[in-house]
Amino acid sequence: MNAIVRNIVRFLDDFAARPIATLLAFGLTVIWAWAGPAEHFGQSWQLLMTTTSSVVTLLMVFVISSAQKRNTDALHLKLDMLVAGHPLLTNSAVGVEQANPEEVAAVRQELAAKVAETDGLV
């Protein structure tokens, strides 16, 4: 089930980033506005756009959040690999994004001390 949802979210994320998605949204909005006079600008005409935009907005919040988390996790992994592979650095900064504020402060102090002792060459 998780794999299916993950694939759907990735598809929506990829589709929403393409120009065709913008054109589709613009086209549907134009059709909706064009249909207004035919519907005498009635409540159902307004309700259609309001409901549709609310549902799409709610779903896109979760799609964007998922994409951001995936990208952030990949970035943190790459940075952790760089820190772990640098000969002058300790591995205390690896995984620091999940540490509590006190641990982060300790890593900052350790890095500042390392920079001071190597004269800024880190």
Torsion angle (degrees, nearest 10) of CA 105, 107, 108, 109:
90
pTM of the model: 0.70
pLDDT tens digits, one per residue of 54-105: 999 999 999 999 999 999 988 988 888 887 777 767 777 778 778 888 888 8
pLDDT at 120: 54
Tokens of 4: 């299916």
Cα separation, 65 vs 68, in Å, equals 5
Domain positions in the chain are 2-70, 86-122
